[in-house]
Amino acid sequence: MAKPKIAMYWTGGCGGCDVSPLEVGEAIVDVLSQVEIAFWPALMDAKRADVEALPAGGIDVALINGALRTEDNVEMVRLLREKSKLVVAYGACAHLGGIIGLGNLHSAQSLVSTALGPGWHAGSPSFSANGDAPPPLTAGVVPLADVIAVDYVVPGCPPPAQLIGLFFQTLLGGEMPSPGHVFAEEKALCDQCPREKEDRRLEKFVRPHEMEPDPDRCLLDQGIVCMGPVTRGGCEAACPALGMPCTGCVGPTRKAGDLAGGMISALASLVRAGDEGEDAFAREDEVLAGLVDPVGTLYKYALATTWKRRETGGEDA
């Protein structure tokens, strides 16, 4: 059987995803011996012209990480789509827009002015004294599926070793699931978490650095916002097991649909006042108002998935 030709490409992201296959440890040697690398600029010298020279379908699987932030990102992923039989959104940025999707809280122009100074323009090349130019930015950050068809998702920031291993094992086994499959659990992370959950009523929110949590009890029960109830399992609850809350990088369960929406609903039920008198609702509001940085907490990875809808007045673009 011919070895599958794979590509790995990094768009708007931190680069962590691009090297994350090493997370599987020594097994990477076995994986690399069973695939042919057609394009992976971080690993071997390859240019855009090399991809342009390939025939349509010349790449079996393109793993694309990072969100789309520049016009160049958009052009490259369109080219890779044209040349690839399968495209995988690899990592939270490609899947959901990721942390850089929080840039959508500001205009592209204000981001460029803040980072580079006045006189620089987001939409077209604006040259500095030494001739450098930032790449033209798109109006907002979008995830991969907003621009090209995506066949599979390997989620996470970066994807955990278990899910990377699962993907390559499935690919090399030759039986891929139906398109649209997300290589993670259908069930919520709480299902994999070793902490004991009691669904206690929340009296106040606490940020992770403000307390040393009980090592055995659920973090959410202790007032730390943990996205476990709405996030897919697959990482063996790596962060909660070490005392840090889940921040939702593997993306929402099918049931939650939307990380922030699902979590707001979970939190609302945990601060419930029941029938404890007329001040009860005011107390609930007070607890909820104590949530610091609600967008950065609840939409840390998925703000960009709502951006087009907001830009078009509530309708999907």
Give the Cα separation of 297 and 290 in Å (integer): 12
* Smaller CB separation from ligand SF4, 85 or 145: 145
Task: Give the residue closest to ligand SF4 by C-beta.
Answer: 228
List, as own/partner pairs, every contact residues 109-115 make where C-beta atoms lie below 8 angstroms and the sequence separation is at least 24, other chains included.
Answer: 111/137, 112/137
Q: From residue 107, how far is each of 96, 102, 120, 129 by CA, in Å?
A: 19, 11, 13, 25
CB under 6 A: which stretch of 55-63, 74-82, 138-146, 222-230 binds ligand SF4?
222-230
13 is an interface residue for ligand SF4 by CB under 6 A: yes
Give the Cα separation of 301 and 306 in Å (integer): 11
Bridge pairing between strands 68-70 and 137-142: antiparallel
Give the Cα separation of 234 and 232 in Å (integer): 7
228 is an interface residue for ligand SF4 by CB under 6 A: yes
Closest CA to 204 of 144, 138, 143, 289: 289
Q: From residue 286, how far is each of 145, 172, 279, 281, 293 by CA, in Å?
A: 38, 53, 11, 9, 15
Q: From residue 281, how far is each of 109, 206, 261, 273 by CA, in Å?
A: 41, 20, 20, 7
* Smaller CB separation from ligand SF4, 120 or 166: 166
Looking at this protein, which amino acid is placed at residue 187? Answer: K
160 is an interface residue for ligand SF4 by CB under 6 A: no
List the one residue from 81, 195, 232, 300 that touches ligand SF4 (CB under 6 A). 195
List the one residue from 4, 21, 97, 98 that touches ligand SF4 (CB under 6 A). 98
70 is an interface residue for ligand SF4 by CB under 6 A: no
The upper half-sphere exposure of residue 176, i.e. CA atoms within 13 Å in the direction of its Cβ, equals: 19
Question: At closest approach, how far in Å is the CB of 44 from ligand SF4?
Answer: 20
CB under 6 A: which stretch of 25-33, 89-97, 267-275, 305-313 binds ligand SF4?
89-97
Closest CA to 159 of 306, 7, 45, 13: 13
* Size of residue set near ligand SF4 by CB under 6 A: 27
16 is an interface residue for ligand SF4 by CB under 6 A: yes
List the one residue from 68, 99, 302, 304 that touches ligand SF4 (CB under 6 A). 99
First to last CA, the chain: 42
Q: Cα 116 vs. chain centroid, distance in angstroms?
A: 26
91 is an interface residue for ligand SF4 by CB under 6 A: yes
* Smaller CB separation from ligand SF4, 126 or 147: 147
Closest CA to 21 of 6, 1, 11: 6
Question: At closest approach, how far in Å is the CB of 143 from ligand SF4?
Answer: 11
List the one residue from 193, 202, 287, 298 that touches ligand SF4 (CB under 6 A). 193
Question: At closest approach, how far in Å is the CB of 244 from ligand SF4?
Answer: 10
184 is an interface residue for ligand SF4 by CB under 6 A: no
Give the x-and-dash track for 233-262 against ligand SF4 (CB under 6 A). Answer: ----x--x-----x----------------
Question: At closest approach, how far in Å is the CB of 243 from ligand SF4?
Answer: 9
The residues binding ligand SF4 (CB under 6 A) are: 13-14, 16-17, 65-66, 91-93, 98-99, 157-158, 189-190, 193, 195, 197, 218-220, 226, 228-229, 237, 240, 246
